[in-house]
Amino acid sequence: MSNATNLQSLRQQDATAVVSPGFGSLQSFELMQRAAKLLSSSTLVPAAYRAVTEKMNKFGEVEKRIENPNALANAVVALNMAQRMGADPLMVMQNLYIVEGRPSWSSQWIIAAINGCGRFSPLRFDITVLGEKEVERTEVYWENKLRQTRTVKVKVIDKVCVAWAIEKETGERIESPKVSIEMAVKEGWYTKNGSKWQTMDEVMLRYRTASFFGKLYAPELLMGLQTVEEMHDVIDVADVQGNASGGYSVTTDELSQQANQTAPEPDKKGTQSPPPAEAMPMDVDPRTGEVIGKDEADHSPDELGLQDALAAIKEGDLVVAQDIARGLSETDRAIVNQAIENKRTTRRRPAAGLDLE
User: Helix or strand or coil: residue 116?
Assistant: helix
Q: Would you state the pLDDT for residue 170?
A: 92
| 158 CB-contact burial (10 Å; exposed 0-12 / middle 13-18 / buried 19+) | buried
Which residue did the predictor score with more confidence, 43 or 63? 43
Which residue did the predictor score with more confidence, 42 or 336? 42
Amino acid letter, 102: R
Residue 315 has pLDDT above 60, yes or no: yes
Q: How confident is the model at residue 6 (pLDDT cuts 50, 70, 90)?
A: low
186 CA to centre of own chain:
22
Q: Would you state the pLDDT for residue 157?
A: 93
Amino acid letter, 140: V
- What is the number of H-type helices and E-type strands within the chain? 13, 10
Closest CA to 160 of 106, 231, 227, 209: 209
Kindly report the backbone phi and psi dihedral angles of residue 271, in degrees, each rounded to the nearest multiple of 5, phi listed first. Answer: -105, 145
Residue 292 has pLDDT above 80, yes or no: no
Which residues face 175 on adjacent strands? 164
Residue 250 has pLDDT above 90, yes or no: no
- Return d(Cα 280, Cα 143) in angstroms, integer: 10
User: Helix or strand or coil: residue 268?
Assistant: coil
- For 168-203, what is each residue's pLDDT tens digit? 999 999 999 999 999 999 888 888 888 889 899 999
Q: Would you state the pLDDT for residue 9?
A: 62
Q: How confident is the model at residue 34 (pLDDT cuts 50, 70, 90)?
A: very high
Question: Length of the chain, please?
Answer: 357
Q: Would you state the pLDDT for residue 296?
A: 41
Q: Would you state the pLDDT for residue 239?
A: 37
Kindly report the backbone phi and psi dihedral angles of residue 26, in degrees, each rounded to the nearest multiple of 5, phi listed first. Answer: -65, -40
Q: How confident is the model at residue 162 (pLDDT cuts 50, 70, 90)?
A: very high
- For 87-128, what is each residue's pLDDT tens digit? 888 888 888 877 666 778 888 888 998 998 889 999 999 999
- For 77-86, what is each residue's pLDDT tens digit? 889 888 887 8
> Count of alpha carbons within 13 Å of 342, Cβ hemisphere only?
9
Average pLDDT for the chain: 75
Q: Would you state the pLDDT for residue 213?
A: 94
Q: Would you state the pLDDT for residue 8?
A: 64
